[in-house]
Amino acid sequence: MRLSRRFNQPGQAGQTGQVNAIARERSRLVAAGAKLTDLTDSNPTHCGLGSPAALEAVARAARRSGRYEPDPKGPLEAREALAERFGGGPDDYWLTASTSEAYSWVFAVLADPGEAVATPAPGYPLIEPLAALAGLTTLECRWHYLEPDGWCLDPVALARAAESGARAFVLVNPGNPTGAYVSPATARTVVEACQAAGAALIADEVFGPFHLEAPPTSLAGRDDVVTFAFSGLSKLLCAPQLKLAWIRLSGPARDLAPTRDALDQVADTFLSPALPVALALPELLAMSDAVVSATRARLAANLAAVRQAFGCDPYRLRRCEGGWSAILDLPPDWGRDPAGSPPHGRAAEPAVRLMREHGLAAHPGWFYDIVDRPALVLSLLPEPLQFEQNCARLHAALTQLGDGPLVPYRGTDLLS
Ligand SMILES: Cc1ncc(COP(=O)(O)O)c(C=O)c1O
């Protein structure tokens, strides 16, 4: 028996039996009894966020779920609540079990196997494997970081993707982990690229409400290009376990009818969301304001703490407009291999040594396609006192590592 070619393609995320060397090292240390402090945990249910009342609401709705009359788009009362809160009409929304599922439905609607979608890099690491599972390739549209302005989209990469026939342009607004919102000017440029390529816009806005150092923007509801905007309870209610997300469709009237039909067909094939959580959605949305404000207060406190700990040379905390992560730049020559290793090797070195020598688990920037400078990506979700202590430990550990001899890891050591 052989598996689908979606798996085991060199360089693809869907490789079976392959774990990257940092994850392998982490498992090895944990198996050997090491107690690692996780600086990467962005699961809100581990961090005391979310609302116990949400689970009660779903339990109450479960009692109303005995009779099932499937509606492929999700129950009308749920879609009415979405329209009332976010705009559009109830027929513009489709419920899915997750945003990941929303990607796969929309990819199925927009592109044939072998075609390409344009994806931001850095943007959100799961998009590429999701595209690969749909039989699609990705065209990377790089975002560059410029201090102090922040992240900006490479217009040449965008134009190339349009010329190469991208069927959709994905924007993650704000990006994960960049936290960068899409400015109105960038949105206009991407819409023009969509129009030139006859492509659609996919706007992943799960982190939209969590703005920190800049006001939020939204691409949902645009009428100048077919736009699929995603959001869901995993972030809005800090409740990934409830498994409910949604797609909002908008765009020029002439394109909408066939797109609706196609999306209806996919939805009807899966009938995916569970009825109790869908019926509870009006109540859950009403609870989300309190969850978002508590989460934003925590993110802001932790961002201030990490700025305080790492606000000056040789470190740099990148501008963080929103989202749940901070990007901490390390000294540019950290772990640099004099023989010239790929960027992976450079940035992985501190992450491995932090784990081995200091019991601190942090993601290197290259996990997320941040390859311009060695960096660590830290979750801003933990409880603030704990977070502040972790920042102090990280600072002390990095100082110690920086003072010692740099023992470079070659990319091949880490990635083989
Ligand atoms: C940008 C982005 N979109 C989507 C998701 C996944 O959301 P869901 O749990 O709804 O699949 C994540 C998860 O972290 C994310 O970072």
pLDDT confidence of residue 340: 47
14-28, 94-108, 168-182, 375-389: the lowest-pLDDT one: 14-28
5-9, 182-186, 367-371: the lowest-pLDDT one: 5-9
Q: What is the pLDDT of residues 397-414, one digit of tens each?
A: 998 887 654 444 433 344
Give me the number of domains the chain comprises.
2
Final residue belonging to a domain, choices 230, 262, 287: 287
> Is residue 314 in a domain?
no
> Is residue 306 in a domain?
no
Residue 412 C-alpha to ligand 1 middle, in angstroms? 30
Both 139 and 231 in a single domain? yes
pLDDT confidence of residue 348: 47
Asked if the bond preceding 374 is cis, omega within 30° of 0, the reply is: no
> Is residue 173 in a domain?
yes
Q: Which amino acid is at 242?
A: L
Both 36 and 59 in a single domain? no
Q: What is the pLDDT of residues 68-108, one digit of tens each?
A: 999 999 999 999 999 999 999 999 999 999 999 999 999 99
Both 220 and 346 in a single domain? no
Both 112 and 75 in a single domain? yes
Q: Which domain holds residue 270?
A: 52-287
> Is residue 128 in a domain?
yes
- The count of other CB atoms within 10 Å of the CB of residue 323 is 26
Both 222 and 87 in a single domain? yes
> Is residue 313 in a domain?
no
Q: Residue 30: give its domain's CATH number.
A: 3.90.1150.10
Both 230 and 103 in a single domain? yes
Both 258 and 341 in a single domain? no
- For ligand 1, pick from 235, 237, 380 the residue to mutate: most ligand atoms within 8 Å of CB: 235
Residue 240 C-alpha to ligand 1 middle, in angstroms? 9
pLDDT confidence of residue 25: 86
60-64, 231-235, 358-362, 372-376: the lowest-pLDDT one: 372-376
Which atom of ligand 1 is least distant from the CA of 232? 10
Which atom of ligand 1 is least distant from the CA of 207? 1
Both 143 and 239 in a single domain? yes
Which residues lie below 8 Å from residue 137, measured CB to CB, with a gap of 6+?
114, 115, 116, 117, 131
Final residue belonging to a domain, choices 287, 314, 341: 287
Which residues lie below 8 Å from residue 54, measured CB to CB, with a gap of 6+?
237, 239, 242, 280, 284, 287
In this predicted structure, the answer to whether residue 371 has a pLDDT above a threshold of 90 is no
Both 226 and 113 in a single domain? yes
> Is residue 312 in a domain?
no
- The count of other CB atoms within 10 Å of the CB of residue 71 is 15
Pocket lined around ligand 1, Cβ cut-off 6 Å: 98-100, 124, 172, 176, 204, 206, 232, 234, 240, 245
Q: What is the mean pLDDT of residues 165-171?
A: 98
> Is residue 12 in a domain?
no
Residue 178 C-alpha to ligand 1 middle, in angstroms? 14
pLDDT confidence of residue 415: 39
Q: Residue 144: give its domain's CATH number.
A: 3.40.640.10
In this predicted structure, the answer to whether residue 135 has a pLDDT above a threshold of 60 is yes
Both 37 and 57 in a single domain? no
Q: Is the dihedral of CA 116, 119, 121, 122 positive or negative?
A: negative
> Is residue 186 in a domain?
yes
pLDDT confidence of residue 406: 47
Both 62 and 35 in a single domain? no
Of the two residues 57 and 4, the one the predictor is more confident about is 57
Residue 408 C-alpha to ligand 1 middle, in angstroms? 33
Final residue belonging to a domain, choices 287, 310, 344: 287
Both 256 and 145 in a single domain? yes
Q: What is the pTM of this model?
A: 0.93
Residue 308 C-alpha to ligand 1 middle, in angstroms? 29
